[in-house]
Structure 1
Amino acid sequence: MAANMYRVGDYVYFENSSSNPYLIRRIEELNKTATGNVEAKVVCFYRRRDISNTLIMLADKHAKEIEEESETTVEPDLTDKQKHQLKHRELFLSRQYESLPATHIRGKCSVALLNETESVLSYLDKEDTFFYSLVYDPSVKTLLADKGEIRVGPRYQADIPEMLSEGESDEREQSKLEVKVWDPNSPLTDRQIDQFLVVARAVGTFARALDCSSSVRQPSLHMSAAAASRDITLFHAMDTLYRHSYDLSSAISVLVPLGGPVLCRDEMEEWSASEATLFEEALEKYGKDFNDIRQDFLPWKSLTSIIEYYYMWKTTDRYVQQKRLKAAEAESKLKQVYIPTYSKPNPNQISTSNGKPGTVNGAVGTTFQPQNPLLGRACESCYATQSHQWYSWGPPNMQCRLCATCWLYWKKYGGLKMPTQSEEEKLSPSPPTEDPRVRSHMSRQATQGMPVRNTGSPKSAVKTRQAFFLHTTYFTKFARQVCKNTLRLRQAARRPFVPINYAAIRAECKMLLNS
């Protein structure tokens, strides 16, 4: 039962289609709907097959740069198959959320930030293990490095100065290393210092009463006094005392210069109500990712200003109220949910019934198309010919199938165990075809990741032609030789999806037999 209990924070497989690979998501919330069903609010992860070729090239470039910069990690030489399968383990994090029915969960997996100090083979050795290093934004189609990457390596190390030898003096100037802002051995007593701080607060309250913009933001005397009691006012008062050598009369005169009382504001007062609302919305969406908050919600604010406002905002009553509200909402949400193991048969399962007579493209013969056209074909991935269960895979006109093991691999990792033509055609280029239209059709299929077959050995990794299995009768073989005027095989083979007029072939054959 532990394997079927799903909690917030778990990485899980979701199935949205019986023929497509699983979706990989992280559970953020488990909510019970009014109908009694459970919906999961999840964070989306994308595979390489889900993004454009331009972004895939960018991801490969980023991986190459990391490998070149890494000086401590020595990756072993990977085979073509391992490189191919490693791409199936790479994911791209997104900030996109969606709600999916919890009943579509098909199991747990593990997703981790790429560790540059760990061998990439460790991800292949573990089942249901994925990694990511880039963040994908599906709305603007961008791919960026994750801000939370582990900074390991020589480029992140501090330059440590040499240790002083015995008897050697430190030649550095202490005035350049530190700034003195307070003297605890001042002639003033603690009572006198507290009295000066009260005067500074009173001056700050009076300054807010004279300032029109402050009167709008702090409409009451109590709010103005509370704002004047904040740390920014106290820091200014203590700094003024130190700069005037703890002379109270001189320090008080500085608090009220000729232009009017000094008004000290911090980020809590500088921000408007609308800006505060935008900040809370951004914090709800991005958390403490201040770079994204500034970029998407508050571009006119500096990063320092946003961070300072955040820590001041945490001291307000509004933060306490939101924290209580979230705690109340969390109590109403589900902590975990039990999802039974999905046991319904997949619509892509192939029955094992025998074939029967039929037609293919109008030609008369015995084929396997009516009930199980894939019977006798090898697995498209491991080329096995025996399996306890077979699954149809790819476009229906291609008539490809996968064994049970490769089908599970396809559902989990979104690819086949062996490289397809699009990845190996550089190593083993396909032979040219007679018709240029056929070549363009095959190239387009390889680009789209569709299965492509040739007429050679089933273990040929380079698949260049679509083909079907046709077991002809003697009558069909005879018709091919006799009816050469109507049945032109060369022209028909160049257009495999155009039906053959077998009624005209039959009529010509009968006429020739009678004569």
Structure 2
Amino acid sequence: MHLHALNDFLFADYVFFENSSSNPYLIRRIEELNKTASGNVEAKVVCFYRRRDISHSLIQLADKHARDLEEENESPSEAELTDKQKHQLRHRELFLSRQYESLPATHIRGKCSVALLNETEAVLSYLDKEDTFFYSLVYDPTQKTLLADKGEIRVGPRFQADVPEMLQEGESDERDQLKLEEKLWDPDCPLSSKQIDQFLVVARAVGTFARALDCSSSVRQPSLHMSAAAASRDITLFHAMDTLHCHGYDLSSALSVLVPAGGPVLCRDEMEEWSASEAAMFEEALEKYGKDFNDIRQDFLPWKSLTSIIEYYYMWKTTDRYVQQKRLKAAEAESKLKQVYIPTYNKPNPNQISVTNGKMATVNGAGPGAYHAAGGGRACESCYSMQSAQWYSWGPPNMQCRLCVSCWMYWKKYGGLKMPSRAEGPEEKTPPSPVPNEPRSRGHGPRQSSHMVPVRNSGSPKSSTKTKQAFLLQATRLTKLARHMCRDIIRLRRAARRPFVPINCGAIKAECKSSFNS
């Protein structure tokens, strides 16, 4: 692929946007490319969110949805993946939103790929592909909700058709006849095609006459031409053919039903039932939501049924109004930019660390201040490497953490570290820190009992950010032994919640001694 193709960005491309030098890239899909009055190019984009961007409660909901899918599809569970693969797979998951925003095209930093989660494909396939992400849920940043995407791939036992057993010769059919299909037209009927066409012409004429007699139709269809056009739509023809079929294709009997004693039969479809204001609201809703008929009904036309809205949509597509709007949109699309060329961004990042006089500092002079010499600085916070062609400061300035160039690019693209940092631990079990790029502190799990040795936790990066001196409670040998040997005498988990209540060490020693003797 040529370099020029990599830097050409088109409609529907998934791209990385940079809104901050220290935060991960934003992932967006280009909907429009517009040139502003000042000559700059702005991209109207659809927003995607990462796991780190949504609340912990919604993350738990997303994980439960993933487990339910695994159970339904009988696919291998995530437990077969290694800890590293589970950790990195979380960085590939995104959440689609219906939110649009406009961003300067100059902030584009490259292309990526986002796909609806393919439930028939192994999740490891997403890790094997560079700059590839997946999503299955839709996030509403306003309502703070997660919903399954309407376009999800319906794979699994609950989406399979139940094929009944074939009846043997002479075997009676015990199925419920009411649930079976009903024949509505016989192509081998005794009438010729000419006779059927003549009957349909009569049905149209009756429909036109019925509209002329109806007061409400004269308001909606003021001209004879429009009334004839309305009478020629499918609702009139379907009624005529149903009538012919129900009367055994007897023309005289069917004609008598078209014009009963009370006057001609008037058949209306959704196009005639909707008022002009309702039609205008529908077009406005369609412009906003597309073919998401549930949202159209909920926000614009709650008094209409979903069936009515869908039926109206397909009839509306046959009108001149639809053709005119389609031409207008095509003209607008012609005036919009088809693609934009963004040169490769090669300016130094402010978080890039340079070597000056044997010490390391950020390029712009701000940030973590003085680092150790290049050979003796801190290891990469992700891969623990001590050597890199380039280093980048990471996290709050007073923590003095840094990433090698490979882990820095991973952080920018995927919003996490290749492996959990020393400050994070092996699993992400707590909600994201309020500071977007701040690692979490040590010390997961319950506190230990009061019979422990307090040790100054000087190695913890976050200890320097606390207002009071931080301590790490380190269990003594007696406490560790008591945890396993004396479960009946004392429950250390409860004792840890009351650190000032003394523990009966004599009873613990006696219990241990009796256990050893036995």
Give me the TM-score of the superposition, normalised by structure 1.
0.77
Residue in 1 aligned with 2:438?
450
The alpha-carbon distance between structure 1 residues 214 and 409, as it changes in their structure 2 partners (threshold 3 A), is same
Matches within 5 A, 1:284-433: 284-354=287-357, 371-373=369-371, 376-420=377-421, 424=425
Question: Quick one: distance in 1 between partners of 2:256 and 2:428?
Answer: 84
Residue in 1 aligned with 2:447?
none
In the TM superposition, residue 205 of structure 1 has moved relative to its aligned partner by 2.2
Question: Quick one: distance in 2 between partners of 1:323 and 1:212?
Answer: 33
Question: Quick one: distance in 2 between partners of 1:213 and 1:21?
Answer: 61
Moved more, 17-26 or 209-218: 209-218
The code of the aligned residue for 1:378 comes to A
8 A contact 2:399–2:462 mirrored in 1: no
The alpha-carbon distance between structure 1 residues 334 and 172, as it changes in their structure 2 partners (threshold 3 A), is farther
Question: Quick one: distance in 2 between partners of 1:399 and 1:118?
Answer: 41
The code of the aligned residue for 1:171 comes to D
Q: How many residues are treated as equivalent by the alignment?
A: 444
After superposition, what is the alpha-carbon deviation per residue over 1:290-327, rounded to whole angstroms, capped at 9, x for unaligned?
A: 33333333333222222222221111111111222222
After superposition, what is the alpha-carbon deviation per residue over 1:429-459, rounded to whole angstroms, capped at 9, x for unaligned?
A: 9xxxxxxxxxxxxx9968977225789xxxx
1:232 aligns with 2:235: yes
The alpha-carbon distance between structure 1 residues 69 and 183, as it changes in their structure 2 partners (threshold 3 A), is closer
After superposition, what is the alpha-carbon deviation per residue over 1:127-177, rounded to whole angstroms, capped at 9, x for unaligned?
A: 111111100111211100111111222222212223455x55573689764
8 A contact 1:446–1:452 mirrored in 2: no
Residue in 2 aligned with 1:171?
173
In the TM superposition, residue 20 of structure 1 has moved relative to its aligned partner by 1.0
After superposition, what is the alpha-carbon deviation per residue over 1:454-482, rounded to whole angstroms, capped at 9, x for unaligned?
A: 89xxxx9x9474349xxxxxxxxxxxxxx
The alpha-carbon distance between structure 1 residues 200 and 353, as it changes in their structure 2 partners (threshold 3 A), is same
Out of 445, 450, 466, the position equivalent to 2:463 is 466
The code of the aligned residue for 1:308 comes to E
Residue in 2 aligned with 1:268?
271
The alpha-carbon distance between structure 1 residues 52 and 444, as it changes in their structure 2 partners (threshold 3 A), is closer
8 A contact 1:351–1:372 mirrored in 2: no
In the TM superposition, residue 2 of structure 1 has moved relative to its aligned partner by 1.6
What SS does the aligned partner of 1:12 have? strand
- The percent identity for this pair of structures is 77
The alpha-carbon distance between structure 1 residues 183 and 129, as it changes in their structure 2 partners (threshold 3 A), is closer
8 A contact 2:281–2:300 mirrored in 1: yes
Residue in 2 aligned with 1:137?
140
The alpha-carbon distance between structure 1 residues 422 and 448, as it changes in their structure 2 partners (threshold 3 A), is farther
Residue in 2 aligned with 1:155?
158
1:71 aligns with 2:74: yes
Moved more, 392-401 or 102-111: 392-401
Residue in 2 aligned with 1:101?
104
Structure 2: give runs of 5+ residues left out of the alignment: 360-365, 444-456, 472-518
1:111 aligns with 2:108: no
After superposition, what is the alpha-carbon deviation per residue over 1:395-433, rounded to whole angstroms, capped at 9, x for unaligned?
A: 22323222211111111011112225786388999xxxx
Matches within 5 A, 1:205-244: 205-244=208-247
After superposition, what is the alpha-carbon deviation per residue over 1:333-375, rounded to whole angstroms, capped at 9, x for unaligned?
A: 222221111000111112212479xxxxxxxxxxx99953465
In the TM superposition, residue 203 of structure 1 has moved relative to its aligned partner by 2.7
1:9 aligns with 2:12: yes
Question: Quick one: distance in 2 between partners of 1:399 and 1:171?
Answer: 79
What SS does the aligned partner of 2:353 have? coil
Question: Quick one: distance in 1 between partners of 2:145 and 2:432?
Answer: 25
Moved more, 64-73 or 121-130: 64-73
Structure 1: give runs of 5+ residues left out of the alignment: 357-367, 430-442, 469-490, 497-515
Moved more, 311-320 or 419-428: 419-428
Question: Quick one: distance in 2 between partners of 1:235 and 1:264?
Answer: 10
What SS does the aligned partner of 1:17 have? coil
What SS does the aligned partner of 2:352 have? coil
Question: Quick one: distance in 1 between partners of 2:288 and 2:437?
Answer: 35
Matches within 5 A, 1:426-441: none
Residue in 1 aligned with 2:469?
494
Moved more, 93-102 or 149-158: 149-158
8 A contact 1:352–1:372 mirrored in 2: no
The code of the aligned residue for 1:451 comes to P
Question: Quick one: distance in 2 between partners of 1:370 and 1:420?
Answer: 18
Residue in 2 aligned with 1:47?
50
Question: Quick one: distance in 2 between partners of 1:105 and 1:256?
Answer: 68
Aligned alpha-carbon RMSD (Å): 3.5
